[in-house]
Structure 1
Amino acid sequence: MDRVTEFTEIKGARKYRRRTVDEKRQIVEEALSSGRSVAEIARSHDLNANQLFDWRKQYLDGRLGVNGRECALLPVTVDEAGDSGVAEPAACVPPVSMPGKIRIQLPRGEIHVEGSADPDTLRVVIQCLSR
Structure 2
Amino acid sequence: MDTVTKFTEVKGARKYRRRTVDQQRRIVEETLSSMRSVVEIARSHEMNANQVFDWRKQYLEGRLGVNGRECALLPVTVNEVNDSNVDEAAACPPAAPSPDAIRIQLPGGDIHVEGSVDPDRLRVVIQCLSR
Normalised by the length of structure 1, the TM-score is 0.64
Shift of 1:26: 0.9
Count of matched residue pairs: 108
Identity %: 56
Equivalent in the alignment of 1:110: 111
Structure 1: give runs of 5+ residues left out of the alignment.
78-83, 87-98
| 1:15-47 deviation per Cα after TM superposition (whole angstroms, max 9, x unaligned) | 111111111111111111111121111111101
1:34-113 alignment runs, 5 A limit: 34-74=34-74, 75=76, 100-107=99-106, 108-113=109-114
Highest RCO, 1 vs 2 (Cα 8 Å, sep ≥ 6): 2
Q: Describe the SS at the equivalent of 1:36.
A: coil
Shift of 1:10: 2.8
Conserved in 2, the CA contact under 8 Å of 1:39 and 1:49? yes
Normalised by the length of structure 2, the TM-score is 0.64
Give the distance between the partners of 1:72 and 1:54, measured in 2 at CA: 21
1:126 equivalent in alignment to 2:128: no
Shift of 1:5: 3.4
Counterpart residue identity of residue 104, structure 1: R
Equivalent in the alignment of 1:7: 7
Higher Rg? 1
